[in-house]
Structure 1
Amino acid sequence: MQSRGSDRQDELEQTVGELARDWDGRIEMRLLGPLAAYDFVGTQKPEQS
């Protein structure tokens, strides 16, 4: 028996797969995760004087 979280993950993966097929040749789609919160934060390079 699968847990509810696993069911939701399967649903997400199926939906993303369908979207990727529908947009094939126009976009490149990858499903990544889980990622740590710091992976979403961009950093700026320090300005050089």
Structure 2
Amino acid sequence: MVRGKTQLKRIENATSRQVTFSKRRSGLLKKAFELSVLCDAEVSLIVFSP
């Protein structure tokens, strides 16, 4: 089964944008940590705040 392409668009509401960013950032940090543990390697992550 193939997923449809997701349309990316700017979130106009500043509060919603900040909440979404915080959730995505925590998810990315978790994935980076898991990758570093599984591969026994150092992982670098650069995240820009909106």
Report the Cα distance in structure 2 between the residues aligned to 1:3 and 1:17, rounded to whole angstroms. 21
Q: Which residue of 2 aligns with 1:15?
A: 31
**What runs of 5+ residues in structure 1 fail to find an aligned partner?**
35-49
Shift of 1:28: 2.1
The size of the alignment, in residue pairs, is 31
Q: In the alignment, residue 26 of structure 2 is paired with which amino acid?
A: D
Q: In the alignment, residue 6 of structure 1 is paired with which amino acid?
A: S
Q: Which residue of 2 aligns with 1:6?
A: 22
Q: Flag as ranges the 4+ runs of structure 1 deviating above 2 A.
A: none
Q: CA RMSD in A?
A: 1.8
- TM-score norm. by structure 2 comes to 0.50
Which structure is higher in helix share? Answer: 2
- TM-score norm. by structure 1 comes to 0.51
Query: Greater Rg, structure 1 or structure 2?
Result: 1
Report the Cα distance in structure 1 between the residues aligned to 2:34 and 2:20, rounded to whole angstroms. 21
